[in-house]
Structure 1
Amino acid sequence: MFEAKPDSELIIKSVLEHFTYLRFRNSFSRIDNYSFASPQPWSSPCPICDEKHGNYGLHGEWYCENRNQLPYNHELAKLYFQDKLEYCLTCNTSSNKLKVIVA
């Protein structure tokens, strides 16, 4: 986990540098989508749930430190909630979140 400003491009770059087995697919409605870079994604264990669930990939989203999901504007959210922001990765098969970045 490391600290960063909520800059989308920097966050995505940082995630890809730290999790070299992921690749960025797209961003849609505040959610960044990553897939496994392996040609055989079903053989890669998920860093969140430790299962092998194929190329469903992972999602990155901003949360407040208290785990509430944020509105789209990160700066406004930080003022409103007066909490630290966390960028967390989640997978499709688990409700667990892997905290990656604190801002």
Structure 2
Amino acid sequence: MPENKVSSFPEQCEEKGPITFEARPDPELIIKSVLEHFPYLKFRNSFRGIDNYNFASPQPWSSPCPICDGKHGNYGLHGEWYNNGIEYCITCFTSSNKFKFAIIA
């Protein structure tokens, strides 16, 4: 099975790196952090530990995806904790790439 590529941050955020928390934050805090970092996203829902986000634009196909840089409409993104709950990664539905958004140090 091929291993998914994990990128630390898209080019526009590369200088900052992932957000670091000392302990796993409340779900509301991680969602708020994602929305502050990506103002063009909106929170849709959480289901079975996966946070679902959509593009906020009325024309989502015009917004580049921060994960794959493609324009794939409002298929949305999802966030989930990986590596035994120490990395919160965001993925899109058209790419196997993961965007490492936050880590527990």
TM-score, with normalisation over the residues of structure 2?
Answer: 0.78
Q: Cα RMSD (Å) of the superposition?
A: 1.0
Greater percentage in helix:
1
Q: Give ranges in structure 2 of 5+ residues lacking alignment.
A: 1-17
Larger relative contact order (C-alpha < 8 A, sep ≥ 6)? 2
Deviation at 1:30, TM superposition (A): 0.7
What per-residue deviation string (whole Å, max 9, x for no partner) do you get for residues 47-93 of structure 1?
Answer: 101110000010000001xxxxx5xxx5xxxxxxxxxx100000000
Equivalent residue in structure 2 for 1:63, among 60, 68, 82? 82
SS where residue 60 of structure 1 aligns?
strand
4+ runs deviating over 2 angstroms: none
Counterpart CA distance in 2 for 1:8 and 1:38 is: 24
| Identical aligned residues as a percent | 72
> Any gaps of 5 or more consecutive residues in structure 1?
65-69, 75-84
The alignment of Structure 1 onto Structure 2 pairs a total of residues equal to: 85
TM-score, reference length from structure 1:
0.79
CA distance in 1 between counterparts of 2:64 and 2:19 reads: 23
